[in-house]
Amino acid sequence: MTTVVPDSDTLTRDALAVLQPTFVGTHRAPDWLLAQLENGMTGVGLFGRNVVSTAQLAELTGHLRSARPDVLVAIDEEGGDVTRLDVHGGSFVPGNHALGSVDDPELTRAVGAAIGRRLAACGVNVNWAPSADINSDPENPVIGVRSFGEEPGLVARHTVAYVEGLQSAGVAACVKHFPGHGNTNVDSHHALPRIDIDLGTLHERELAPFRAAIAAGTRCVMSAHILVPALDPDRPGTLSPAVLNGLLRAPVAEGGLGFDGLIYSDAIEMRAVAETYGLDQGCVLAIAAGADALCIGGSPSDEAEVLRLRDALVNAVRSGELPEERLHEAAERVRALGRWTADERARLAAAGPADAAADAEIGLAAARRAVRVSRPADGRLRPLTRPAHVATLSSAANIAVGDQTPWGPGPELARLLPGTTTSGHATADAERAGPAGLAAEVLATAGERPLVVVFRDRHRHPWVAETVAELLAARPDTVVVEMGVPHAGPVGDTYLATYGAARVCGQAVAELLTGHQPG
């Protein structure tokens, strides 16, 4: 590979500074990554593949800091359905939709702080969270329970609370996905969503949480790969000067949001950008548009890719396509955030370790408060007194959630009611047997045991709705548990909505169904 200029050159260091790659590794980072951190690269992203335990993650981030003490270590730890720390067991806190349903900003602030303290203990100093999107389209396949709700004021006050809680623990918040990913039924991981709303609606609805988060001091904002014709009819937000400079950066007096912190791109290799522009050109266009740090997130990077993208940025400066001042400005913003996180890390070290057990209890308490129960006509929720059968209807999760993280009340219910059995059923099972046939299989497996059926987003998956209807027709006593957005409303005599599928949400359901008294 041709090196455009020596690694010590300011231009090359600036180009490296804006790249935030991911990598393969748990206890040690690759040697090439450490070398590029020493050459000027400023940060990395972590995903579930990098996480085994808190102690292991602290060892890994310590290894990164051996090459660059002020390295930015970022992660997607929204809580709830999107977790990297608890990818193998389920999150210790409920997600945004559960917190929004409770609508207690102090609770949201406490959950944000608990997430922040746990991240800080692992050596992570940037959280690509919270989602500030308003879930205005119930068919949205990528936001859903990641949103605090559908009402701008509610989403704004909880976004602020989360940001303040997180940053109180020395972890930079990154509100996303600007200018709002809620009003679409397309997942930008797979294609380019189009948001056809007028500027008035955009300012009154989508931008309200971002405006509030900026006023509250969020350190970062993440752009979305969405097309908003009212702002730019040609380019998605991440690549649009009109969106990033003309709206997000522009002074408030000129109709902008006046943000002067760090702008992260969403994962630049997502199809909404990469399929149209290519990865190299997408990086150049994003920096030129006003982004400061490029998240290269979905697949692990290698040295060849990082050097190729570095050279693409340098060549764009050399050709005049990318102003050198713009690249340097972006690099300086990234370095400034690194200095802030280093100062915060020193402050936290002086304050002493966090109480992990107390933080875990905050999450479970929040999940308990979020559960909504539609009880039988006589007003009593009768606890299960004998082993049950839990049937989980699993539709494919979006890429942000992933398919590695277990969910549902089955394991906790089996602990509280030994002998409880579980079965999992996916879209392919419904296609094979049909909803009626699938329901018959579930009923045969359950036998005489009490039946609990669990699912997410019944309103978006006809096969789930039809299978649930078949089960209720045959067994009206079936307990129905919605762990997604409860847009379709209650069905059956006993219906519980958790507003998310975190591990603690499943635990809260199991406690209710068995009459277990917390504490």
Taking the C-alpha atoms of residue 477 and residue 493, their distance in angstroms, rounded to an integer, is 7
Enumerate residues 6+ apart whose C-beta is below 8 A from 441. 425, 429, 433
Map residue 409 onto helix, strand or coil.
coil
Token digits of residue 456: 């997410």
Token digits of residue 485: 């957005």
| Residues labelled catalytic | 189, 266
Taking the C-alpha atoms of residue 178 and residue 347, their distance in angstroms, rounded to an integer, is 31
- The one-letter amino acid at 114: A
Looking at the chain, how many residues does it have? 519
First to last CA, the chain: 61
Taking the C-alpha atoms of residue 143 and residue 432, their distance in angstroms, rounded to an integer, is 29
Token digits of residue 387: 């082993």
Cis? peptide before 229, omega within 30° of 0: no
Indicate the pairing of strand 262-264 with strand 451-455.
Answer: unpaired
Taking the C-alpha atoms of residue 419 and residue 102, their distance in angstroms, rounded to an integer, is 33
Enumerate residues 6+ apart whose C-beta is below 8 A from 215. 160
Chain centroid to Cα 98, Å, comes to 14
